[in-house]
Amino acid sequence: FDTFSKSLIIIPINLGNSHWVCSAINLEKKRFEYYDSLGGPMERVYLTLRKYLEEEHLAKKKSPIDLSDWENYWDEDVPQQENSCDCGIFTCQFMETLSRDVEGFDFTQKEMPYLRNKMALEIHEERLIEEEGWVDLE
């Protein structure tokens, strides 16, 4: 698997065994991204992503990578959760939106019960649900 052939690497992160967030390494835009339904950016996540990419480049490309022009990106307008139990669903929705290369996040706390049920059904049925119907994963 060549990490550097991808434009975006999406990584879910569990903070302190109590909160899920979404991070991404955007190779196309040269930035480390952080999406949190409870608040602002965490420097340690950016540092961890940088370290991973440096080590991955050394292992795969056998040379150091220059990250001096890479930025740490945080979108302050991401949807925010209003309880203490929906961070996993928010994180999954952040990841799905990023994977589809869609601008902005079009969900709120109000949609969480529906999205939770939709995700459970998709897992059970082993396929994705689109507005038009089912999408086969084969």
Read off the pLDDT of residues 20-30 as tens digits, 9 standing for 90 and up: 999 999 999 99
Q: How far apart are the C-alpha atoms of 98 and 104, rounded to whole Å?
A: 9
Look up the pTM and report it: 0.90
Contacts of 107 by beta carbon, 8 Å cutoff, 6+ apart:
79, 93, 115
Read off the pLDDT of residues 32-83 as tens digits, 9 standing for 90 and up: 999 999 988 899 999 999 999 999 999 999 999 999 999 999 999 999 999 9
Pick the more confident residue, 100 or 132. Answer: 100
Write down the domain spans for the chain: 3-135
Identify the three-state secondary structure at position 125.
helix
The reply to whether CATH 3.40.190.80 applies to domain 3-135 is no
**pLDDT for residue 137:** 56
**pLDDT for residue 112:** 96
Provide the annotated active-site residues: 19, 36, 87
